[in-house]
Structure formats: C-alpha cells, structure tokens
Structure 1
Amino acid sequence: MTIHRAHIAGAALASALSMTSSANAQALEYQNTSGGSVTVYGQLNFGYLNFDDGESTTDEIVDNDNSPSRVGMALVQPFGDNQLRFRFETALGLRSSSGISQTEVPDGIDWDRTNIRHFDFAWANPNYGTISLGQGSMATDGVTGADDSGTDVISNVSVSDIAGSFAFRDSTGALTGVELSDAFSTFDGGRRGRIRWDSPEVANFTFSVAHGTEILDEDADTDYTDLAVRYGNDFGDFNVNAALGARRIQPSGSDDEDYVIGSVAVHHAPTGLSFAVAAGSEDGGGDYYYAKLGYARDFFAVGTTAFSIDYYEGDDINGAGTSSDSVGFSVVQSLDSANSEIFATYREYSYSDGTATSYQDANATMIGARWKF
C-alpha cells in the first residue's frame, strides 16, 4: 500500500506541474521544455531483526535504520548558468530497528514531522558554489561515512543503527539504563534547519560550512555550526574518498561541545578490495575509531556480491571511564534488474564503565532487503 501511494503522489505532483514524463531505472523523472526536471524517488528497506542481550532474545520485522524507508522529490530548474533546486524527502515513519527495545515495540507506522529529512531550497552557481536554505544536511553530515565496500546498507560506522534502543544487561540479568546508542556514537552532523554554503570543486576538494538549529523538535533549543572539506580522486586503479569536519554544538544553558570527525575510503577496482577508516573526538570528552575491510566481486550475473568485516572502539563515549566495542560481519547481494539488494549481518556489542558493574555482551542479527524506485 505504501508503494502504491508513493507512486500516486509522484504522478499527481508531475501532472500538477504539467511536465512530460520519462522512465528512469531508479526513479520517476519528469522534464519540462526549459531544461527543468522533477524526480520522484524512494526506497523500502525492511529487515528481520534478532537481538540477544545475553538473557533473552527479541525478534521483530523492522525498517532498517541504517538507511530508512523514504520517499522524496527533487526539482532542478536552470536559469542560464545557475540552477534553482528544491528537495523534499521524508522517512515513512515505519517501525525503526533503532526504535524497538526489550521493553517497547512501537507501532508499525507512526509518522510525525521529525521524520522529514529534507525541505530544502538551493541556488547553485558554477563559479561561486551552492547556497542551501531549509531542513537538510549540515556541512558535516556523512563526513564519517566514506565507504566503498558495497555493504553500507546494513553495515557502517553508525554501528548502533540496527538496535540502538536495546539496553545492556548486567551480570545479574537486570536491564541497565545503558542503551547501545549511548555507548556507540559517530558525532556526525546530521540534518537541521540551516543555511549552508558549498564551494565549487577545486583540485578535487569541496569545502562546506553551515549554521543551523533544530526546527522539527519544539522542545529543542540548540544551535549548530560546522565546516567540512571533502576530497575524491583516482590514482591508477585506486579510488580515494575522504572527508574531514569540525562541529560546534551550543545548547541553551549548557557549555559548548566541540568535535572533530573524519573518514577515508580506498577502493582497488581490479581486486574488489576496499578499506575504510573513520574517527571522531569530542574536546574534553569521548573519542572512537572505526575500521572496515570489504571485498566485492561479480560472482553471479544478477549483480555484485559484497562482503565486509568491521570494528568499532570507543572510549568515554558514555562518560569518563566507559569503553565500547563492536565487531560486525556482513554480506550484500545486488539484484541489478530489480534495483534491489538483499543483505545479512551479524554484530556483537560489549560495554564497560570502569565500575564494579559487569555488563553482558549482546549481539544483533538482521536479514532483509532494500528496493529503490
């Protein structure tokens, strides 16, 4: 039913704009006679999650929070050398893998305005860059996510996404107040209501700066400022992507929080091997590093098969003296003709806080599929 409504909404929008349509392998695109276009796109990304906290297991059909189900519309209209752009995108509000826990299973669908990912206008000029205004990515959104493994749909630096609200149990079997999302963080910039500038590409570098605030949560009163630099280039058979960013969070009535984050990914095309690292540090607070090894080959005619193993280690993420570790194994099979992927992952989590409390290790398993349209 959700798929059907998404297509109807896209077609109705296109008709209202009196644009002609043309099929696209991954989206619906409508073009006008002046070079403008509207693209309607989206994805469904469902999985079966099993979480074992050392004492009990929880099983549920969920929306994969590594890359939530969504629908969006992107408009591009040229004006000479300039472009006016508009983007609207929302998650569907389906039961999230990071929203369930041992004590709570949310409704199957519960959409509210915090599910809006983008409501964003932009003006782009090839000489002066792009100015963006509205709900959208801060400059450091995705800076920690450089990854060419082909398994990022289910395995990436945000290792708690598949089970973030589950709590660790202590050695007696009692649930603690420590959730996975408390112990594993990326310090990523995320999306806010902001103004952002992106430079034109210069010698394979792009620079970005943004300032914003939380506009979708009425109870939030925090300002965000960040800047980032991104780099991408080929060196013979090697492709390199890298990003580095700095963030400042200014909560009302609290001290400022400063972060430095970044990532690098290297892919060797002839062998299908890839390697990625990411790291982040809070001034006076916690830090982490993350490493991922990937391998992708076309074993089958239907599409590429990708494997990865990754490791996360955090110190002081949930307060001074805390330590968190996670290791994951993942496989993704692309189905090119169906614009789909099927995936499976297994991930272990461990946590300690330097006190007499001993926390049991936990693990999560997810199998599922993503379909893009």
Structure 2
Amino acid sequence: MTTFWRRSALFAVAAGLAALPVQAELKYDNNSGGFVSIYGQFNPAFQMVDDGVGSTSNLVDNSHSNTRVGIWVNQPVGSGTFTFNFETALGLRASDGVSQTFTPKGVDWSRTNLRKVDFAYDSGTYGKFYLGQGSMATDGIADTDFSGTSLVLYNGIGDTAGSFTFRTSAGTASSVSISSVTSSFDGGRRGRVRYDSPDFSGFSVSLAAGEEILASYSNDKFYDVALRYANEFSGGKFTGGVGFSRRDRNGVDRDDTFGSFSVLLDSGFNVSMAVGSRDTGEDYVYGKLGYKGDWFAIGQTALGVDLYDGSNFNTSGSSTRVFGIGAVQNIDSVNMEAYLGLRSYEFSEVTTSYRDIESVLFGARWKF
C-alpha cells in the first residue's frame, strides 16, 4: 500500500469515528460566550477517464470538495462577533490535477493548499468585515445549487478531470484541457479585504479587493462586487446572485460578469441555472435539473442531470458542451455521502474537431 493510501486510510478511520453520533462534538466553550471548534472531511474517489484513444484510472481526492481540516474561533465582542477561520486541504492527489501524461504524488502539500486564514468581525448592525485569505465577494455566485448533487455535478466542470486534454479527430494529443474550455468565472479565494452588508428583505451586497498571495510569481490584483438574494415562498425556496469581477494583470484588465439561481420545491424537484460572459468574448450557459427523495431510511437521495454550453474558449468560434448525470446517497448515521457521476465532454474549433472525453467519478465523503 502506498504512503498516500496508508495516510488516507488512517484519516478515513479518524473521520469516520469523529462522525459517529456517539462521539462528542469537537467544540470547546470558554466562560465568555466564545468557542473553538475543529472540523474536517475526507473525500476519496475512483476516477476513470476515456479520451477516445485510451483510458486512465486513478484513486484521487475529489476536487469538487477536497479533503480538508479546519478550525473556527468565535468570540462575542461588544454587540458583534469576532471570528477566525483557518482551513487547509491536505494536498492529496486531486481529481483536477491528473491527466493522461501526469499523475501527481499521493500527498504533496504546498502553501497553495491553504484555503482560509481569515479574520472577520460581524457588527450585527452595519455588516460584516473580513481580512485575510478567504472568499472574494463573488465566490460561489456562479454555483448556486439546491440539488444536493454538487459532489459530482455543478458548475465547476473542471474539478472532475480538468487537466485531461482533448485529442484531435485523428487521435493526436492536443494542449486543450477540459478546464481551459469550461470556466464558470467564479470568484474563488484570495488574500483580500471584504465587506458584506446586512440583509435587507433577503438582499445583501458584498465588495472585495485582493491579491493572489499563495501562488509564486503572481502579482495579479482582483476587485469584485456581488448581489445575493434568498427567500422562501409557498411550496419552496429560492436563492441566487449576480456578480462582477475584474482581474488586473500588470495593468491589463479582464472583466467577468456572471450569476446563478436555484429553486427547490417542497416536492423535491429543483432547478439550477448559471450564465457568464468575459469581456474577451467567452461565454456560457449552465443548467441542472434535480430531484431529492426520501426513499431509504439511511438518508436522502439526490439525483441530477446537467448541461454546460460554452462558446469562444481557447479560440474564437469554438464550442464546448458537457453533459452530466449523477447521484448522491446520504448516510446520516455516519455523516457520509456516497456518490457516482458520469460526464461527457465535447469541444470543437472552427478549423479543428476533437474526440469526446468521458469520465466517471465514484466515491464517498465523510465529515466530522
């Protein structure tokens, strides 16, 4: 057994034990209303990808929601609340990092695996203020989703197998990767300052300015703004948002405008949709139909199908289309979700056609 899977097995056991109902919550209260809590998850998966010429299979960490650990510090201060959140991925072999020609090490942690080193103060009246490595204002704006299937199906298409490259119709390897032609333009995480307004009848506004501080040789600057809305109605609930982000690379700006919404009905049926455009010509539409059913005593079952339709990625006039189908089975007694997702990726350019790629992702996520 490799070092990667020995460590993974030990972590799985630890996470599984921590998730059992008989275990105490990893939370420690102080005498002034504050607390410290520890959390994490383990998300191993089997990945199989067929590029039209050959197939590749690997044991991976699911990049849709990677293996991670974190700590929350929460302390009331005056009429508000101070929080600190540290969170890091463990650097296990990522599903979006494997390709036909490269298999990352089983464990390879670097500073880019740091997700959050985030200080925040929620005033309770004037909004919430953030400082540190964490979510930009538009993080999640492209990914609104009530379906319960985001472990295998959501607008982050490249997370499943993003480094795999398309082959031309003749079978020749190209440099066009799945992730390079399926962007959602979502905001992500940076070293930033951020402000979230209070909620006004379901609406809230977020603003942020930041830099890429974890990747070497990058001095890109980022600015974004987002408007969110959430509410319940007779028979269901709705959430959504729109955002605008700008990346400044050495004085050259790139602007993205995008948004998404999701509706969940009391019957279990749900629909999610996203759209986005970039000022350099790229654009896309994403849609998902889903259903949540309580068919088994062990937990809720979520089913979904989705479609991504993009234009002008890589070259002007290109076309990207991705189809997916997935299922997630919750196992409530051990805080686990088992999942299976299948995707088909199509890409074509004006002067070049490419073979389709097919992927399978099968795994389980434990939370503690």
TM-score greater than 0.5 by the shorter chain? yes
Aligned with 1:251 (options 249, 252, 260)? 249
Q: Is the 2:12–2:42 Cα contact (8 Å) retained in structure 1?
A: no
Query: Which residue among 272, 276, 295 is the counterpart of 1:276?
Result: 272
The answer as to 2:257 corresponding to 1:260 is yes
How far does residue 25 in structure 1 lie from its aligned partner after superposition?
A: 7.8
Equivalent residues of 1:27, 1:42 under 8 A apart: no
Cα distance change, pair 109–320 in 1 and its aligned pair in 2 (3 A): same
The answer (yes or no) to whether the contact 2:286–2:307 under 8 Å persists in 1 is yes
Which residue of structure 2 aligns with residue 358 of structure 1? Answer: 353
Matched residue SS, 2:161: coil
CA deviation map 1:255-281 (0-9, x unaligned): 201111100100001x10000000111
Determine which of 90, 107, 110 is the counterpart of 1:109: 107
Quickly say closer, same or farther: Cα 1:24–1:116, change in 2 above 3 A: farther
Partner of 1:346 in structure 2? 342
Q: Which residue of 2 aligns with 1:332?
A: 328
Cα distance in 1 between the residues matched to 2:12 and 2:217: 31
1:224 aligns to what? 222
Unaligned runs of 5+ in 1: 9-22
Q: Does the aligned pair in 1 maintain the 2:11–2:42 contact within 8 Å? A: no
TM-score by length of 2: 0.94
Q: Does the alignment pair 1:177 with 2:175? A: yes
Work out the number of aligned pairs and report it.
356
Separation in structure 2 between the aligned mates of residue 232 and residue 155 of structure 1, nearest angstrom: 22
Q: CA deviation at 1:115?
A: 0.3
Q: Aligned partner of 1:295: which letter?
A: Y
Change (3 A) 1:114 1:6: farther
**Once the two structures are aligned, what percentage of the paired residues are identical?**
44
Amino acid at match of 1:111: W
- Which residue pairs with 2:365 in the alignment? 370
Alignment correspondent of 1:28: 26
- Are the counterparts in 1 of residues 311 and 317 from structure 2 also a CA contact under 8 Å? yes
Q: What TM-score results when the alignment is normalised by the length of structure 1? A: 0.92
Distance in 1 of aligned mates of 2:272 and 2:335:
25
The one-letter code matched in structure 1 to 2:224 is D
Contact 2:96 2:159 in 1 (8 A): yes
Paired letter, 1:289: V
In the other structure, the counterpart of 2:49 is: 51
Unaligned runs of 5+ in 2: 1-6, 15-20
Structure 1 residue 319, shift from structure 2 partner: 2.8
- How many angstroms apart in 2 are the aligned matches of 1:6 and 1:179? 31
Q: 2 CA distance for matches of 1:102 and 1:26?
A: 44
State which of 281, 284, 289 in structure 2 corresponds to 1:285.
Answer: 281
Task: Look up the match of 1:15.
Answer: none
**Match of 1:211?**
209
TM superposition shift of 1:95: 0.2
